[in-house]
Structure 1
Amino acid sequence: MTSTAGRPQVGRLLSLSGGHLVTDVNQGVVILLVPVVKASLGLSIGAAALLVTVSTVASSVVQPLFGAITDRYDLRWLIPAGVFLAGAGILVAALAPGYSIVLLGVLLSGLGVAAFHPEAARWAGEASGRLRATGMSWFSVGGNAGFALGVLVTAPLVGWAGSRAGAAWLMLPPALYAAYLLWEVTRFPAREAGRGQPVWSAVRATLSPSIGLLVGFIVVRSVVSVGMATFTPLYLQLVRGMPLSEAGAITFAFLLAGAVGTLAGGPVADIFGRKVMLTVSLALMPPLGLAFVYLPNLAGYAALVVMGALVVSTFGVTVVMAQELMPKHAGTASGITIGFSIGVGGVAVALLGRLADLVGLTTTLVFLALIPIAGVLLVLPLRETKPAQAAQPARTNVQP
């Protein structure tokens, strides 16, 4: 496999980042389907928010399994297959006649997302060269931009069609890009899979205290990120009386800021250190979250946008840290950081939906604003990983 010791392979990173964008558009679609499905099917907030939980859990919890398998075998075909399935699931959800089939479509889409991420992140790590955090940020920004774009395009499509069926048109980009990636992955260099590395060795590697602290940080970040993305449009509609189009635009700004933050976060971490980046990003969130709830109009929305930039600015950084802490199990490391821990955060959205039904959306958003304090406490004992350790972090042909 190509060494990561050289310069970033920009073309490959852009292809993978594009796949990340097209895949994660579908997760953004689910966010906007929540208020649409709630209104059309007469659901409670908790039942509607379950769409996000199903999507997040399906796209996340099984990722470590995909990662462990790809540590042993070259399964590059999962990259185009995942892109296609992610779009096909949204097609099912858009055309579904009832709530149960909507959930099934969201589940299928989530499984496609899960199949894509570990193998794509592995190849992105290989293509990043010495600037590991920077290269992974290029890959990650595709996902964050796709999430934001999914929110942006869903509202007008639903408005144009008069129902969620308008979202069915979003199957076209995944189908076309999957065909491109099916050709593109054949051009990747040959990779010797991790022969002699049983799955249990990857499981054992995940049990280190540093991985545990890192996973805890990502869970906190995921609860805040997914929670704010899910409940912000509902809050703006039900509490502030905004139409769906305006609520979607503000949520898009929050998510787009996350894409910008992700792109900036990698270089900042390469310069100042991974741990500093993690600590500062979460420490600034509570006042920003409270400002969104309590400050009027533009000031509150500006605070929300800045919070969006910070909350996922460490996305690529945490993937790199996990790969540096688990150098023989890059696929598993990617599955845990992009997948499982984010999925655990997604489960919390269902609980937060129940909380919103009981105490209201305003109180729920205040609670979300304060959660990052727990993340800061988890980062403090975490040891810094060194950029120099990244010389061969994603090679999987080293014996344990």
Structure 2
Amino acid sequence: MNRIPTLAAGHAAVDFYQGAVPALVPFLVAQRGYGYVAASGIVLAATLSSSIVQPLFGVLTDRWRMPWLIPVSTVLAGAGVAAGGLSGSYALTWLAVALSGLGVAAYHPESARLARIASAGGHVRMSWFSLGGTLGFACAPVLVTPLLAVGGLEASPFLVVPAVAGALATLPAVRALTGGTRAAKAAPVARGRDDWAAFARLTLVIVFRSVVYVGLSAFVALLMGGGAAGAVALFVLFAGGAVGTVLGGRLAARYGRVRTMRMAYVLAVPAVAGVVLVPGPAAYVFVAASSIALYTPFSLHVTLGQDMLPNRVGTAGGVTLGLAVSVGGLASPLVGAVAEASSLRTALACLIVFPVLAWLLARTIKEPEPLPAAEPA
């Protein structure tokens, strides 16, 4: 039985809380009087705890199989955000949001391993698993904002509902894929040589991609004029990501992962340039094209990393899904500084160089031998 839809639903439930934190911030500012520094600190708590800690969970899941982390971490991610809306103390709010990020970090390495088993090595199925996370992140503002607009921060306990639903939904798939407690606790068997040099290059490719996408998501609404025009730009950006995630799996099945990755970054260069240089409504077309191009290799990064580190699948998932993806957020303040010193359009023009760098580095990466579809018990 195909377990990918169930795992994708769980992935959506967890990544929902990555998008929920930015949606929570305006209400913290309005009801508690947080300034920009305090508000950015809340977002930083979620980002740092979910990205930096994630490879550590990858190392742990490489040594011990911990499928119980999947439902537990899902609930933890939801409980942290729900508690963050209730706590009146800034310190407690910061800790609650950091706890949510910890849940997100704990979820991804083990879930990526199980998704690889469930997908039987298929790129299309793996792209559907990645799509779940993309949709969860994109749906968060749509659900969180109306709820808190009506009920205020006092309604934040309801935000734990997606986490509980996601945890319950994934339990049957987790039990089926782990084959029972004995198999779940078994240590992995060595299966080839880990190519750390290739994995390091792939990690840099993901970082370059992250800088571009995070920069666009942070400032494209302002570039388009804010208000309704900015909201449409963000919707187009998120929707394009969903399309690109599925498209990447299908193209990889036909042309190969590395070739698809290279083509995507080549197309991202004129697409990002169009966002910056083309005025008026036509810019929306380039926003969509940029998002599709940047998300086409998203799920392929995960499987490439796992194949490059066949004995460190959890570590590969932790880096490709967590650390390298989130590092781009650290570059956003630099983009903002350039915008203040010159203009927003000039600052975003600097992003054009990063898909070029990603393409050049991707040319040095070769297609690794794929891992077996399932791990030996």
TM-score, scaled to structure 1: 0.82
The answer on whether the counterparts of 1:330 and 1:395 sit within 8 Å (CA) in structure 2 is: no
Task: Please give the alpha-carbon distance, in whole angstroms, between the structure 2 residues aligned to 1:35 and 1:306.
Answer: 29
Partner of 2:215: 227
Q: Are 1:59 and 2:42 an aligned pair?
A: no
Q: Are 1:116 and 2:134 an aligned pair?
A: no
1:145 to 135, 141, 146: 135
1:360 positional shift: 4.8
Report the secondary structure of 1:224's partner residue. Answer: helix
2:5 to 2, 14, 28: 14
**1:1-400, aligned counterparts within 5 Å?**
9-10=1-2, 12-33=3-24, 41=33, 43-44=35-36, 48-97=39-88, 99-131=90-122, 133-161=123-151, 163=152, 168-182=157-171, 184-188=173-177, 189-190=179-180, 191=183, 195=187, 205=194, 208-233=196-221, 235=222, 240-242=225-227, 247-386=230-369, 389-392=370-373, 395=375
The answer on whether the counterparts of 1:83 and 1:112 sit within 8 Å (CA) in structure 2 is: yes
Report the secondary structure of 1:390's partner residue. Answer: coil
Structure 1 residues 35 and 73 mapped into 2: Cα distance closer, same or farther (>3 Å)? same
The answer on whether the counterparts of 2:83 and 2:156 sit within 8 Å (CA) in structure 1 is: no
1:36 positional shift: 5.4
Structure 1 residues 51 and 299 mapped into 2: Cα distance closer, same or farther (>3 Å)? farther
Report the secondary structure of 2:119's partner residue. Answer: coil
Task: Please give the alpha-carbon distance, in whole angstroms, between the structure 1 residues aligned to 2:211 and 2:78.
Answer: 24
Report the secondary structure of 1:90's partner residue. Answer: helix
The answer on whether the counterparts of 1:149 and 1:252 sit within 8 Å (CA) in structure 2 is: no
Structure 1 residues 144 and 135 mapped into 2: Cα distance closer, same or farther (>3 Å)? same
AA aligned opposite 2:290:
M
Structure 1 residues 361 and 166 mapped into 2: Cα distance closer, same or farther (>3 Å)? farther
Partner of 1:4: none
1:330 positional shift: 1.3
Task: Please give the alpha-carbon distance, in whole angstroms, between the structure 2 residues aligned to 1:192 and 1:219.
Answer: 32
1:79 positional shift: 0.4
The answer on whether the counterparts of 1:26 and 1:87 sit within 8 Å (CA) in structure 2 is: yes
Aligned-pair Cα RMSD in Å? 3.0
1:345 positional shift: 2.3
Identity within the alignment, %: 35
The answer on whether the counterparts of 1:53 and 1:347 sit within 8 Å (CA) in structure 2 is: no
1:343 positional shift: 3.1
1:37-60 superposed Cα distances (whole Å, 9 cap, x missing partner): 56664634x764454443232112
Task: Please give the alpha-carbon distance, in whole angstroms, between the structure 2 residues aligned to 1:167 and 1:231.
Answer: 27
Structure 1 residues 90 and 57 mapped into 2: Cα distance closer, same or farther (>3 Å)? same
The answer on whether the counterparts of 2:6 and 2:169 sit within 8 Å (CA) in structure 1 is: no
1:222 positional shift: 1.5
1:317 positional shift: 0.4
AA aligned opposite 1:79:
I
Structure 1 residues 313 and 47 mapped into 2: Cα distance closer, same or farther (>3 Å)? farther
- Bigger mean CA offset, 319-328 vs 224-233: 224-233
The answer on whether the counterparts of 2:7 and 2:173 sit within 8 Å (CA) in structure 1 is: no
Task: Please give the alpha-carbon distance, in whole angstroms, between the structure 1 residues aligned to 2:41 and 2:347.
Answer: 16
AA aligned opposite 1:156:
P
Q: Which runs of 5 or more structure 1 residues have no equivalent in the other structure? A: 1-8
Structure 1 residues 103 and 89 mapped into 2: Cα distance closer, same or farther (>3 Å)? same
The answer on whether the counterparts of 2:188 and 2:311 sit within 8 Å (CA) in structure 1 is: no
Task: Please give the alpha-carbon distance, in whole angstroms, between the structure 1 residues aligned to 2:324 and 2:376.
Answer: 22
1:83 positional shift: 1.0
Structure 1 residues 136 and 373 mapped into 2: Cα distance closer, same or farther (>3 Å)? same
1:119-144 superposed Cα distances (whole Å, 9 cap, x missing partner): 1110000111142x222111100001
Q: Which runs of 5 or more structure 2 residues have no equivalent in the other structure? A: none
